Structure 1
Amino acid sequence: MRRVCLTLPTHRACTGTITAIADEAAYGAREFGSEIHLLILDSSPAPVLAEHRKAVAALPASPGVTVHHLDEDEQRAFLREVLDRSGEASASASADRLLELMLPSRVSYGACTNRAFLIAQALGCTSVHRRDSDSRYQYVDGEPVFPLHQELTYLGQRAEDVRNSATRSKLPPGSGERRVAVAGGSFVGEMSVDVAEIRDQDPGTYDDLVGLSLPGGYPEIWRRHLIDASFRGAGAGTFDGDRTALAPISPTQVDMCNVGFDHEVYSRVPLPPARDTIGTDYFLLHLVHNARLPGLQHNRHIVNFHTQERRTDTGFLAYQVRFAKFLLATAYLNTVYARTTAAGDTLLDDEGHIRASVVAGFVRDSVDLDRTEVVRRLDVIDGAYRRLGGRYTRVADTIAERRPRLLDEARDDMADFAHLMDHWEALTRASAGTGPAGIR
């Protein structure tokens, strides 16, 4: 029986999402005969965690579905066992660093998904399917539209075998024998990044900020198009029937709240464990696209919304700083993406699997990037927030106070990523060796 992991990482209240994702898990087990492991990785404060415990306890039993709700102590215990089994514990400094990269004290979108990857390995799952706490499902005729349907239909299948079942196919020549590495859709509703107010208040400043996320070298007409499309997902449309495309998927067309990865991808390469930084968890989407691995893009889009916490003064400041850090991180990431794009399918070995050592080398080389561009970006960010004024002035002041630290962290995050990549395959093998008994 096919075993898959449907995961919900969270650090905030989301009892409604827990109930909804459990329904998706039941759907997957019922319709596909799969064994679904619903994995909730919970970093919420104690009162919220307690509410989540109640919500999980109230879930009805569902054939083929096993629910794992792990708080940070339970996740840490699993990671320590993996480190012990991998041999990293014999070097305590290395083990401590890896544990911090896997379970940091600060928010990390990549690290929480990396933990899901390792736990999925222990559970014997062949794929990981991620959802987020600030998302809901679309409904048609009173029934939810579950992305898991398309993910389970295509993920891990030989591309040539499913070519005719897709609405359209644009597979690169010679890639029909490769397996579908990623399946995903986008979102409808509010922008994925909370910058709509900036766009409405000052379009020019919005262009300056969002433009920093793009690689250089685009003609102005394409640059304008990419800025307009950024963070907007599938817009305001509604689901009106399935449409699928079998091809290497552009990372701009898929959201990390609506994605599934085959284990042949995440068992070799993790996500960047950058802290307090949005967007870096899209690394694998860039990698599989640039390696020209088959992907499945569908239109079962998630409904995105912004939680109330993000609208508080504290939440607003934290999120804007994470956005600024992302714009600094892209200076490094874009150098890696340029090299993986140039490498194309030479990133793959003879069996069509990603050559992790090559990717790690690109990441390690990026650490030595001349800081001139990163400093320029920070100047643009500071000036943009000061022009916006009002509550954005506090963001600018915070960025100015943290300036040396932000510059160091942008570089150090890439060094940490390279370090994690060096040990990742040992960790995934050790995770598989722990088996389900290692998850308490």
Structure 2
Amino acid sequence: MRIRKAPGGSVPSSGREKRHVNGSKGRRVCLVVPTNRECTATLAEVVAEAEHAESHFDVDVRLLVLDSSDHFRAHAATLAAARDVRHLDERRQRDFLRRVIRRADLAKPDLALDLMLPRGLSYGACTNRAFLIAAALGCESVHRRDSDLYFQTYAGRKVFPIHAELSALGRPAGDVVATENRLDRSRRNLPVALVGASFVGSMSVDIEDIRDHAAYYDLVSLWAADGSTEAEKRALVAESFTGSAPFDGDRCVLSAVDPMRVDMHNISFHGLHERVPLPPATDTIGSDYFLIHVAARAGLPGVLHNRHIVNFHTAERKSDAGFLAYQMRFAKFILSMYYLHFVYQRMTTDDPADIAALVRASTWQPREPNEAKAGLLEAAYRRLGGRFTGVADRIRERRELLLVEARRDMDDFALLIDAWAALTAAARETPVDDV
């Protein structure tokens, strides 16, 4: 990646960054925003990002918005400014998935549809849908943003992450010029599989209000792997869910990217997303970070840059209903980590069969350690007091269901990994727009 600073903080064009000539298009890429809330301001920002990409690179950007909100018309009005956009409500997403699943000839088509478009909220499932739709659109990479972000401004210009992504993603790692190169020499002929950055602004998990509470450590340290030392837990708590420094000029590191340094608001994938899906777990945060761990554990080339997005929390999350729902998703994340840590600690490859075997093996662990963690989770929330007492009560009421779901989510994930190659191949042959 070119890292010389140009006037205004932008990255200057290199020989590989070609503007379109006579309307010609180069590689096709998918810029995606999943949403279940009103986000017209964010969508306007992403439309501008797509325009920036096409004016600075030889790319054809397909903007994809997966819209489960009640604000479809308002979003459509904003998206009218985009050159090439697919704005799909759940009905159209479901229709596409049914055609893909039929073409893939899966043994359990109804289950596959449930895993791809579940009734509950699923960060992993919505991104999996984006992966398949991107394949159907002929896109070689996926660039994900979320609906609760905007872009930094530096020297009067927007700082678009897609500029850093397109400078490196999919290129042989040895061809990427970076501020710092930490990649093992044996990996430098491989293509860059992941380019990402972090965020500035509000914490990525909405627990900022309790950072100074004595029970904050009790709660956040629960997502550490079993066997972590006290020092390791304290280090994890100190850096969990916090952002990075504001942009002051382009910098990037070529390496196997540390999952703690990137956020799914601000990520792009090449190739990897067509081999391995994300966990389709419902009502939990963190399920969409799995591929970042795959890339790191497999030693795949990646680029960590500093074009961080600005994260904010919507008013709905602060309402009583929104607060309780979000905290319960955090609680399930804690219980899911019992299984995910098992996989992360043993994973050494991006081979889907090996990963599916590890996912299945994780469910053979005794449940008692996770039962103990559920008790500690309830106690931590109760110690926080106030409205968090209601979260503790809900965890007590749903304790058995939460434990069962955390395990069952992994069983479902293994099934989806098994089906992913067939689904991706079928998606490549399935038009998005048939109705």
TM-score range, shorter chain: over 0.9
The residue correspondences of 1:141-160 to structure 2 (distance < 5 A) are: 141-160=155-174
The residue correspondences of 1:19-418 to structure 2 (distance < 5 A) are: 19-45=44-70, 48-57=71-80, 59=81, 65-88=83-106, 91=107, 94-162=108-176, 165-200=177-212, 202-203=213-214, 205-234=215-244, 237-262=245-270, 264-340=271-347, 344=348, 347=349, 354-418=350-414
Query: Given that residues 193 and 231 in structure 1 are in contact (C-alpha distance below 8 angstroms), is that contact kept between their aligned partners in structure 2?
Result: yes
CA distance in 2 between counterparts of 1:241 and 1:54 reads 34
RMSD value, Cα: 1.2
Query: Given that residues 233 and 255 in structure 1 are in contact (C-alpha distance below 8 angstroms), is that contact kept between their aligned partners in structure 2?
Result: no
* Per-residue CA distance 1:66-97 (angstroms, 9 max, x = gap): 11100000000000000111112xx4xx1111
Alignment partner of 2:132: what SS? Answer: helix
Per the alignment, residue 9 of structure 2 pairs with none
How far apart are residue 141 of structure 1 and its match? 2.1
* Per-residue CA distance 1:160-186 (angstroms, 9 max, x = gap): 111xx1000011231111111100000
Per the alignment, residue 351 of structure 1 pairs with none
CA distance in 1 between counterparts of 2:178 and 2:226 reads 34
CA distance in 2 between counterparts of 1:214 and 1:147 reads 30
How far apart are residue 389 of structure 1 and its match? 1.3
How far apart are residue 120 of structure 1 and its match? 0.4
* Per-residue CA distance 1:90-139 (angstroms, 9 max, x = gap): x4xx1111101101111100000000000000011010000001111000
**Quick one: which amino acid aligns to residue 52 of structure 1?**
H
Alignment partner of 2:269: what SS? Answer: strand
CA distance in 2 between counterparts of 1:157 and 1:215 reads 34
Alignment partner of 1:331: what SS? Answer: helix
Query: Given that residues 215 and 334 in structure 1 are in contact (C-alpha distance below 8 angstroms), is that contact kept between their aligned partners in structure 2?
Result: yes
Alignment partner of 1:197: what SS? Answer: helix
Alignment partner of 1:150: what SS? Answer: helix
How far apart are residue 227 of structure 1 and its match? 1.0
CA distance in 2 between counterparts of 1:223 and 1:398 reads 26
5+ residue gaps, structure 2, are 1-25
Query: Given that residues 124 and 435 in structure 1 are in contact (C-alpha distance below 8 angstroms), is that contact kept between their aligned partners in structure 2?
Result: no
**Quick one: which amino acid aligns to residue 395 of structure 2?**
I
Instruction: Say if 1:134 and 1:227 are closer, same or farther in 2 by CA, change over 3 A.
Output: same
CA distance in 2 between counterparts of 1:198 and 1:370 reads 32
Alignment partner of 2:142: what SS? Answer: strand
Per the alignment, residue 5 of structure 2 pairs with none
TM-score, normalised on structure 1?
Answer: 0.91
Query: Given that residues 111 and 272 in structure 1 are in contact (C-alpha distance below 8 angstroms), is that contact kept between their aligned partners in structure 2?
Result: yes
Alignment partner of 2:275: what SS? Answer: coil
Alignment partner of 2:84: what SS? Answer: strand
5+ residue gaps, structure 1, are 348-353
CA distance in 1 between counterparts of 2:409 and 2:190 reads 32
TM-score, normalised on structure 2?
Answer: 0.92
